[in-house]
Amino acid sequence: MAGKDRILVLGPTGAIGRHIVWASLKAGNPTYVLVRDTPPTVNKPRLVTAANPETREELLQNYKNSGAFLIQGDMNDHQSLVNAMKQVDVVICSFGRLLIEDQVKIIAAIKEAGNIKRFFPSEFGLDVDRHDSVEPVREVFEEKAKIRRIIEAEGVPYTYLCCHAFTGYFLRNLAQIDITVPPRDKIFIQGDGNVKGAYITEADVGSFTIEAANDPNALNKTVHLRLPANYLTLNEIVSLWEKKIGKTLEKIYVPEEKVLKDIQESSFPNNYLLALYHSQQIRGDAVYEIDPAKDIEASEAYPYVKYSTVDEYLNQFV
């Protein structure tokens, strides 16, 4: 029996990348992480701070202690990227929104190395070929779609992973702005609250990503994470929360016209978060039919993977 593919994770210390690394190690894949000699010196604005206590240095040391291989490299050093690619079989990128376009450098290195079986570009959101979002998120989604087209034009083998709404963005506060826990008195709901959304913990994103990486059927396909217990409307989620706290919340339904006005008048990160909520809760960008010829529904392909449900996730806030 052949050994498992060697997996390289780019962006291994981020909010999603760290979970992909741990999932890869847990699955028994030889796991490599690309690290720079020195950490970035510029503090970039974040939407949600990673819910992990480790510093970058502690996390990298924990990876090494757990059997991961640390490879020195830099996005602006083409040869170091090529050298990294030659040591692995699968490349998974988990860059943040500000580095999406830099993936052209990864594609160039993959092409030169010539041995990569699969590339997972930094997606980890909704399907960027199926959305009706507004700015400021539309620009990011269009950048991701552009990377898809470059991958396809260059003939790079790929898997796109669409996981929709991270619990850290959407459920920790039930999609409310400027609070960090679910509300207990009143809640603002975009639209009528009856549009289905897809939710998933960041740790489960890591698990399903590695499952897809080890699945030959996911080659040149898009994997969709719309898990049955987590494919819910916001009204359904609020009802779950109300049962847990034994209290009915005051619900304020916000019409789309007001939501769009709030997005335009808000600054980052609130405008970005509001636009993400609008994409799912009003435009219904998690509601679509898949094409079996090019899509995989993860819950059907990997029914044995255990995941945290919305109901379970909310227990920590009771």
* pLDDT tens profile 170-180: 999 999 999 99
Tokens of 54: 């480790």
Contacts of 77 by beta carbon, 8 Å cutoff, 6+ apart:
none
In this prediction, residues 11-18 reach a mean pLDDT of 94
Whether pLDDT at 88 is above 60: yes
Rounded CA separation 110/129 (Å): 23
Rounded CA separation 164/125 (Å): 4
Q: Is 144 a catalytic residue?
A: yes
Contacts of 274 by beta carbon, 8 Å cutoff, 6+ apart:
177, 259, 262, 263, 266
Whether pLDDT at 1 is above 50: no
Least confident of 48-62, 149-163, 290-304: 48-62
What is the percentage of the chain residues whose pLDDT exceeds 70?
Answer: 94
Contact predicate 234/252, CB 8 Å: no
Rounded CA separation 197/285 (Å): 8
Amino acid 169: pLDDT:
86
Tokens of 42: 């510029």
The torsion defined by the Cα of 133, 254, 257 and 180, in degrees rounded to 10, comes to -50
Class of residue 286 by CB neighbours under 10 A (exposed 0-12, middle 13-18, buried 19+): buried
In this prediction, residues 78-87 reach a mean pLDDT of 98
Whether pLDDT at 132 is above 60: yes
* pLDDT tens profile 239-283: 999 999 999 999 999 999 999 999 999 999 999 999 999 999 999
Q: pLDDT-derived band of residue 37, with 50, 70 and 90 as boundaries?
A: confident
Of 86, 105, 117, 144, catalytic: 144
Rounded CA separation 164/172 (Å): 15
Amino acid 3: pLDDT:
82
Among 210, 196, 274, 199, residue whose Cα is nearest residue 27: 210
Amino acid 50: pLDDT:
47
What is the percentage of the chain residues whose pLDDT exceeds 90?
Answer: 92
Amino acid at 56: R
* pLDDT tens profile 43-80: 555 555 545 567 889 999 999 999 999 999 999 999 99
- Please calculate the CA angle 132-137-141 and round it to the nearest 5 degrees: 70
β-pairing, 31-35 vs 231-233, is unpaired
CATH superfamily of 7-317: NAD(P)-binding Rossmann-like Domain (3.40.50.720)
Tokens of 156: 């790079």
| Domain positions in the chain | 7-317
